[in-house]
Amino acid sequence: MIKRVDHIAIAVNSADDALSVFDSVFGLKADHIEELPDQGVKAATIRVGDTHIEFIEPTDPEGGVAKFIEKKGEGFHHICVEVDDIDAELKSLAARGVELIDKQARKGLAGRIGFLHPRATKGVLIELIQKV
Ligand code: ZN
């Protein structure tokens, strides 16, 4: 079951630059910055109410986020929704024929995550997260 929007992710060339823009425009500060080498990104989050905006900066020029920016430029990348039981959700989606990028959950920034294919959801990349 979907509980809430956990974060909205924006692909950027520089997380530090994005943080300084959102600080100067909205006065919002980073609450978490982390390098995720296995995903080829540096991620920085800012809290907005009970959700977050997450900036993802490619650190691997061959990675998915680097290719996304190359093709589409900086901007909206994905919505992440929190679920109670990610294994059950992924299994249920697969059983209903929903196209998945991750058939098995994997480790993300703040929990176990899995992505649906944007073809399954009107061109919007959706991430599921089960918090740890
Ligand atoms: Zn995300």
Ligand 1 centroid – CA 25 distance (Å): 23
Ligand 1 centroid – CA 81 distance (Å): 9
Task: Give the model's confidence band at 1: pLDDT under 50 very low, under 70 low, under 90 confident, else very high.
Answer: confident
Ligand 1 centroid – CA 80 distance (Å): 5
Per cent of the chain over pLDDT 70 is 100
Ligand 1 centroid – CA 90 distance (Å): 16
**Whole-angstrom Cα distance, residue 46 to residue 32?**
7
The size of the chain, in residues, is 132
Q: Give the pair of three-digit tokens for residue 34.
A: 């982390």
The reported pLDDT for the residue numbered 130 is 98
Domains observed in the chain: 2-131 (3.10.180.10)
Q: Residue 86 contacts by C-beta under 8 Å, 6 or more apart in sequence? A: 105, 112, 113, 114, 128, 129, 130
DSSP structure class, residue 40: T
The 10s digit of each residue's pLDDT in 71-110 is 999 999 999 999 999 999 999 999 999 999 999 999 887 8
**Whole-angstrom Cα distance, residue 124 to residue 132?**
25
Ligand 1 centroid – CA 110 distance (Å): 9
Ligand 1 centroid – CA 132 distance (Å): 15
The reported pLDDT for the residue numbered 79 is 98
The reported pLDDT for the residue numbered 35 is 93
The 10s digit of each residue's pLDDT in 2-34 is 999 999 999 999 999 999 999 999 999 999 999
